[in-house]
């Protein structure tokens, strides 16, 4: 038996964080019903394959929540639901009659996780993963980010918030409400930079030879011999001790050679894909 078998989740969340969280909850055994606008989820336009993967195992319903009929159908679903996930601004939820106070009065056992952009008082301000990363110094212009940090971290925070609410309800009998601000999710991943650990030239930002990226004979390799035993094993084997010697050594062989060498020597070395 999976941990969330018997738990019913209704998600109104489009785009990435909500669907990714719903996918995780579904994988834990929850019954997930996804409610989409009649126009669909923008995620299907941007990444149809990923959209379909996240939807697997769930029930999809398309409802016009601005119509009485659509809201009535949603109410029917919420009567037997344990958890609702939303990703609309609080003001929009209030206009639909889906604010937490109203929901709690009508469905006292329903827990609600609301994914928003910024914490109060900016909860109704527009934002996206790119702008959250920009505000935290996580971008290196003109390059776009290689992953969607805020969205993926927000998905995991949504899952943990959902589990915490459901556990609290089982222990105390009271349902609850939680907000997951994507800007704060991104900020949680930016903590190493905030402390200066990964700033250019810092220990984890290229300032030490044993934790760095080096050009090989045919590409690049990442070397992460951070612990003293890894560093000693690496430097003793290659007879190197400083950045220039590291660079010269790793330039002599291919990335595949160094990755295999690292596995054989039990030193963290990986090809940069």
Predicted confidence band at 12 (pLDDT cuts at 50, 70, 90)?
very high
26 phi/psi in degrees, rounded to 5: -60, -40
Task: Report, as an integer, the average pLDDT of 92-120.
Answer: 97
**The pLDDT of residue 194:** 95
Predicted confidence band at 135 (pLDDT cuts at 50, 70, 90)?
very high
Task: Report, as an integer, the average pLDDT of 118-124.
Answer: 95
Predicted confidence band at 61 (pLDDT cuts at 50, 70, 90)?
very high
Which tokens belong to 44? 């299907």
Domain boundaries, the chain: 8-192, 206-271
**Among the listed residues 128, 148, 29, 33, the one whose alpha carbon sits nearest the alpha carbon of residue 85:** 33
17 phi/psi in degrees, rounded to 5: -60, -45
State what percent of residues in the chain have pLDDT above 90: 100
**Among the listed residues 173, 178, 175, the one whose alpha carbon sits nearest the alpha carbon of residue 161:** 178
pLDDT digits (tens, 9 = 90+) for 177-215: 999 999 999 999 999 999 999 999 999 999 999 999 999
C-alpha–C-alpha distance, residues 168 and 122, integer Å: 28
Q: Are 198 and 138 in contact (CB under 8 A)?
A: no
Fold for 8-192, please state it. Answer: Rossmann fold (3.40.50)
Instruction: Give the number of other CB atoms < 10 A from CB of residue 49.
Output: 8
**The pLDDT of residue 166:** 98
Q: Which CATH architecture has domain 206-271?
A: 2-Layer Sandwich (3.30)
Task: Report, as an integer, the average pLDDT of 9-21.
Answer: 98
Please tell me what DSSP assigns to residue 176.
-
pLDDT digits (tens, 9 = 90+) for 157-178: 999 999 999 999 999 999 999 9
**The pLDDT of residue 147:** 96
Give Cβ neighbours of residue 237 (< 8 Å, ≥ 6 apart).
Answer: 265
Mean pLDDT of the chain: 97
- Strands across the sheet with 211-215, in order? 211-215, 220-224, 269-271
Task: Report, as an integer, the average pLDDT of 19-44.
Answer: 98
pLDDT at 1 over 90: no
């Amino acid at each position: 038996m999976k941990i969330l078998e018997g738990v019913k989740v209704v998600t109104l969340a489009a785009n990435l964080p909500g669907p990714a969280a719903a996918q995780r909850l579904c994988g834990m055994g929850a019954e997930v019903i996804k409610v989409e606008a009649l126009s669909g989820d923008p995620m299907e336009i941007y990444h149809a394959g990923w959209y379909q993967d996240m939807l697997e195992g769930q029930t999809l319903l398309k409802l016009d929540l601005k119509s009485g009929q659509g809201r009535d159908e949603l109410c029917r679903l919420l009567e037997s639901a344990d958890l609702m996930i939303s990703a609309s601004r609080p003001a929009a939820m209030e206009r639909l009659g889906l604010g937490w106070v109203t929901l709690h009065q009508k469905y006292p056992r329903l827990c609600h996780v609301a994914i928003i952009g910024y914490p109060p008082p900016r909860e109704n301000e527009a934002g996206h993963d790119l702008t959250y990363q920009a505000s935290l110094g996580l971008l290196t212009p003109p390059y776009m980010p290689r992953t969607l940090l805020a969205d993926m971290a927000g998905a995991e925070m949504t899952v943990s918030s959902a589990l915490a609410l459901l556990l609290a309800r089982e222990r105390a009998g009271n349902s609850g409400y939680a907000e997951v601000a994507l800007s704060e999710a991104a900020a949680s991943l930016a903590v190493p930079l905030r402390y200066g650990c990964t700033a250019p030239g810092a220990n984890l930002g290229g300032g030490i030879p044993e934790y760095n990226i080096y050009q090989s004979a045919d590409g690049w390799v990442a070397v992460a011999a951070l612990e003293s035993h890894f560093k000693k094993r690496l430097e003793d084997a290659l007879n190197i001790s400083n950045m220039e010697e590291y660079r010269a050594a790793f330039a002599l062989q291919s990335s595949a050679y160094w990755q295999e060498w690292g596995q054989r020597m039990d030193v963290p070395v990986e090809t940069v894909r």
